[in-house]
Amino acid sequence: MAGWTLTLKNLLLPCFCKRCDARLLTEENGFYCPTCWESSPRLERPFCSLCGRPHRGMAGFGTLSNFPCADCRAMNPKRRYARRIVGAAQYDDVIGEAIRWFKFKGKTRLVEPLAGEMRVFAERELDDCYAAVIPVPLHRVRLRERGYNQAHLLAHELLPQFPGAKLVQALERIRPTRTQSTLREPAARRANVRGAFAVVPAAADRLSGNAVLLIDDVVTTGETVHECARVLRRAGVEAVDVFAAALAVDRLSQTPEPW
Ligand SMILES: [Zn+2]
Ligand SMILES: [Zn+2]
C-alpha cells in the first residue's frame, strides 16, 4: 500500500495490536505489533529430528544438530508413517492466537505472516526435494461452512519456496471428524482420524515413488498427519514429510477448540 493511502487509512480506521493495544502504524499483519509478533516462540535447533519439538533446556544452542526425543524413540516405528514433522513456531502465545483467528474466525489475511514464518524456517531446514506440496484436506461439509481450507492457503503461499514441487490436492477427507484438539486421549484421537482420508486416484500415479511435503496449520499429537501419511505411503509415495505453521509443544495441554 502506498505511503499516503496507509496514512489515510490509519487516520480513518486506526488498527491496534490485539495483544498490547499499541497502535499499528504499518501494514505488518494488521493484527499484532512487531514487538508482540516477534516475542512468540519459534522452533529453533536443537529440536527432535522426528517430531520437531524442541529439546527442553537446550534452547539457545542454535547450531546444535538435531536428534530424536525420548517420546519418538519410545514410539513404535511402524506407526510413524511420516518421515519427519517440523513446524515453524510453537502453538502458543501470539502465533497460536493468530492461527486460531486464521482458522476459526475467517481472518485469512493472516496467511501471509504465518506463511512468512514457515518460509524463514524452510530456508534454514528444508530442501527442495519434494515432488508435491499437499495440504491436509477438510471434509467438504466443514469446507462449505468455513469457506476455505487454511492448510491449502498456507500451501499455496509456500509453493514458491519449493520450485521443484507442484501443489497437489492429493488427499480427501472421506468422513467428517471431530476437531482433534477436543479429544484428549491419544487412542480417541487415533480412532477419530483412522480411515478418514483417501488418496485422490488421479494423484496417486503422479506421486508414486516420490517424496512429498504435507502442509497443515497445527500439529498437536500428530495423529492426523500420520494418518494422511499412512494413506499416501500405501498409495506408493516414497516419503512424507510434514510441515506445519506451529507445533503444540505440550501435546495434550492445549485449550479445546474452536473458541
Ligand atoms: Zn503488541
Ligand atoms: Zn520427537
Confidence (pLDDT) at 124:
95
- Is residue 242 within 8 A of residue 51, CB to CB? The reply is no
131 and 32 fall within a common domain:
no
| 135 belongs to a structural domain | yes
27 has pLDDT over 90: no
Domain that holds residue 198: 41-247
Q: 111-125 and 93-104 helices cross at what angle (nearest 10)?
A: 120
Whether residue 6 lies inside any domain: the answer is yes
Please check whether residue 120 lies inside any domain of the structure. yes
- CA contacts within 13 A on the Cβ side of 240: 29
Q: Are residues 96 and 25 in the same domain?
A: no
pLDDT of residue 252: 52
Q: Tell me: do 167 and 233 sit in the same domain.
A: yes
77 and 2 within one domain:
no
Q: Where are the beta strands (DSSP E) in the chain?
A: 15-16, 23-24, 84-90, 132-135, 166-167, 171-173, 197-199, 211-219, 239-247
Cα(74) to ligand 2 centroid in Å equals 9
Q: What percent of the chain has pLDDT over 90?
A: 71
Structural domains in the chain (count):
2
In a domain, 256, yes or no: no
Q: Does residue 257 lie within any of the structural domains?
A: no
CATH number of the CATH domain containing 176: 3.40.50.2020
Which pTM value belongs to this model? 0.91
User: Which ligand number lies closest to the CA of residue 67?
Assistant: 2
185 band by pLDDT with thresholds 50, 70 and 90? confident
Categorize the per-residue pLDDT at 182 as very low, low, confident or very high, splitting at 50, 70 and 90: confident
Return the ligand number nearest the Cα of 28: 1
What is the average pLDDT across 176-186? 82
Task: Classify 206 as helix, strand or coil.
Answer: helix
Structure confidence at residue 3 (pLDDT):
65
**Predicted local confidence at residue 254, as pLDDT:** 43
**Region 26-49: what's the mean pLDDT?**
88
Tell me how far the alpha carbon of residue 218 lies from the centroid of ligand 2, in angstroms. Answer: 16
Q: Are residues 23 and 68 in the same domain?
A: no
Residue 1 reports pLDDT greater than 80: no
Residue 178 has pLDDT above 90, yes or no: no
Close Cβ partners of 127 (under 8 Å, ≥ 6 residues apart): none
Higher-confidence residue: 202 or 257?
202
